[in-house]
Amino acid sequence: MSARRLHLVLGTALLAGACASPTASCDAAGAVTGHWSYAATQETPVHGTLTGSLVISSQTCTDFQGALDVIEQLTTGESRRIAGPVSGSLVDTGVARFEVTLGGVGREHLVRLHGDSMTGSWVETGGSLQGNGRFGGRRQ
């Protein structure tokens, strides 16, 4: 999927989810706090994988914060540890979005939550490389 198309898909899903229940109470919000494994693929600009952990340390109603710490392994043989702050929100039952800044570049994630697992897509929101890919994780 091209980065432009992924941006459109993420944007449409976020808008649809944001309008799904504008008057929902905090009682309806699911808990996402805790330690999660994180495994992602990077499709562009260079294929690679990211593995590590996502820690959601605080949640207030639908908003949450934490940190992502991963090892990025590119098919070029390069490897580096990158970490950054996470900030996100639940946009509907079983759907969340969060942004993390890794290596100075923002990555927007759209998440589908299934009990103690998550899956989704991510896209860079800044920088010139415009990477994108898929990810998943399990609550530890």
* CATH assignment at residue 40: 2.40.128.120
**Number of separate domains in the chain:** 1
Residue 33, both tokens = 């706090």
Tell me whether strands 105-114 and 95-102 are parallel, antiparallel or unpaired.
antiparallel
Asked whether residue 85 carries a pLDDT value surpassing 60, the answer given is yes
> pLDDT grade, residue 2 (50/70/90)?
low
* Residue-number span of the structural domain to which 96 is assigned: 3-21+31-138
Residue 26, in any domain of the structure: no
8 Å CB contact between 102 and 113:
no
Strands (E), the chain: 34-42, 48-60, 63-74, 79-92, 95-102, 105-114, 117-124, 132-138
Segment 4-43, tens digit of pLDDT: 544 444 554 444 444 444 445 676 567 899 999 999 999 9
Q: Decide if pLDDT at 124 tops 70.
A: yes
**pTM tops 0.85:** no
Structural domain contains residue 62: yes
Tens of pLDDT, residue by residue over 86-117, are 999 999 989 999 999 988 889 999 999 999 99
Identify the band that residue 136 occupies on the pLDDT scale cut at 50, 70 and 90.
very high
pLDDT in the model for residue 103 = 83
Residue 118 lies inside a defined structural domain of this protein: yes
Q: How far apart are CA 131 and CA 124, in angstroms?
A: 5
Continuous segment of H or E residues that includes residue 9: helix 3-20
